[in-house]
Each structure stands twice: as C-alpha cells, then as structure tokens.
Homo-oligomer: A and B are copies of this chain.
C-alpha cells in the first residue's frame, strides 16, 4: 500500500498516464459515479435506511432506478440488504465496510460540488 501523502497521486500503474480501455476499474468507476449511485451511497453514509426513505432522500429517483441502483451496489459489495420476513415487508439497506470506505471519498467530492455549484454555473454566459 502507498502512504496517503498530501499531493494527490495516481496509482503507480497509471504512471504512464494511460487509462486502459478494458480496465476493470472503468466498470467500477461507472457504477460508483453513476447519477443515482452517488446519491444512494451518500444517503446510506448517514446510516441504515429503508426503501421508502431512500426514495425520499434521492429526490426524483424512480422506483425502477432505485431498485436497479441498489442491485448494482449490492452486487459490488458496497451495499448490504437485510430483508426481514415480516408483514408489512421491511428491508434495511446499509453500507458494507467497503461501501463506507468509498463513501468517505465521495462525501468530500459531493460537498465540493455543492459548495462550488453556484459559482460554476453562474460563471457561464
């Protein structure tokens, strides 16, 4: 492992500066930087939540996309799905350890976007 020094650096394998086309990291990157993926991971970084709460938090998401996004993130081992066989159904979603690790990187990014959004969009003529 590399020590996390302050000046951000790419992994050594990227030292040639090329991001290979077939690289698996491209796929993973697509999942975690997807429109809804980011929001779901962010929402879950605040703690375990249920379907309907996630729907509310990621304002504007359709049920279809919520299901799809959650499935992808679960398959990626980022989100944990705990379904309880009770009536009415109760399903709790939370981050796995890996998901937490990731959300720790996502939060500063979203915060930055949030803080800079107005300035960025206003600066356009």
Question: Contacts A2-B100, A112-B101, A114-B13; is A121 near B57 (CB within 8 Å)?
Answer: no
How far does the alpha carbon of A108 sit from the alpha carbon of B7 in the complex, in Å?
10
How far does the alpha carbon of A107 sit from the alpha carbon of B97 in the complex, in Å?
21
Q: Report copies per complex.
A: 2
Interfacial chain B residues near A27, Cβ < 8 Å: 117, 121
Question: Contacts A10-B107, A59-B19, A105-B112; is A97 near B2 (CB within 8 Å)?
Answer: yes
Closest to A100 in B: B2
Digitize A44-73: 1 where CB-to-B-CB distance is under 8 Å, 0 elsewhere.
Answer: 011000000000111110000000000000
Question: Contacts A46-B17, A111-B10; is A116 near B98 (CB within 8 Å)?
Answer: yes
Interface size grouping (class) on chain A: 35 or more
Q: Which of B17, B42, B98, B102 is within 8 Å of A10, CB to CB?
A: B42
Contact A109 B106 (CB under 8 A): yes
Digitize A89-108: 1 where CB-to-B-CB distance is under 8 Å, 0 elsewhere.
Answer: 00000000110111111111
Q: Is A83 an interface residue (CB 8 A)?
A: no
Residues of A at under 8 Å CB distance from B? 1-2, 4, 8-11, 13-14, 17-21, 23-25, 27-30, 32-35, 38-39, 42-43, 45-46, 56-60, 75-78, 97-98, 100-121, 123-124
